[in-house]
Amino acid sequence: MSTSPAERDAMRRALALAATPGVPLGPNPRVGCVLLDDEGRTVAEGHHRGAGTAHAEADALRLAGEHARGTTAVVTLEPCNHTGRTGPCAGALLAAGVRRVVFAQADPNPVAAGGATTLREAGVEVEQGLLADDAAALNRAWTFAVTHGRPLVTWKLATTIDGRSAAADGTSRWVSSAAARLDTHRLRAMADTMLVGTGTVAVDDPLLTVRDADGVPAPRAQQPLRVVMGERELPAQARVLNDDAETLHLRTRDPRAALTELQQRERRHVFLEGGPTLAAAFLRAGLVDEIVAYVAPVLLGSGLAGVGDLGIGTIAAALRPRVTDVTVLAPLDPTDPHDQPNVRLTLAPGGDH
What are the Cα distances from residue 4, in Å, to 71, 127, 129, 173, 328? 14, 11, 13, 54, 40
Give residues with Cβ within 8 angstroms of 231, minimum separation 6: 198, 251, 252, 253
- How far apart CA 136 and CA 24 sit, in angstroms, is 18
Tell me if residue 337 falls in helix, strand or coil: coil
- How far apart CA 110 and CA 234 sit, in angstroms, is 39
Q: How far apart are the first and last CA of the chain?
A: 36
Total residues belonging to the chain: 353
Q: Report whether 40 contacts 6 (CB < 8 A).
A: yes
Closest CA to 290 of 141, 179, 165, 143: 141
| Strand ordering across the sheet containing 225-229 | 247-250, 225-229, 193-197, 269-274, 152-160, 290-296, 342-348, 322-329
* Catalytic status, residue 233: no
Closest CA to 290 of 252, 346, 239, 338: 346
Catalytic pick from 57, 78, 273, 290? 57
Give residues with Cβ within 8 angstroms of 37, minimum separation 6: 43, 67, 70, 71, 72
Q: Report whether 266 contacts 189 (CB < 8 A).
A: no
Give residues with Cβ within 8 angstroms of 57, minimum separation 6: 31, 33, 46, 73, 75, 79, 89, 92, 93
Torsional sign, CA 81, 103, 85, 150 = positive
List the catalytic residues: 57
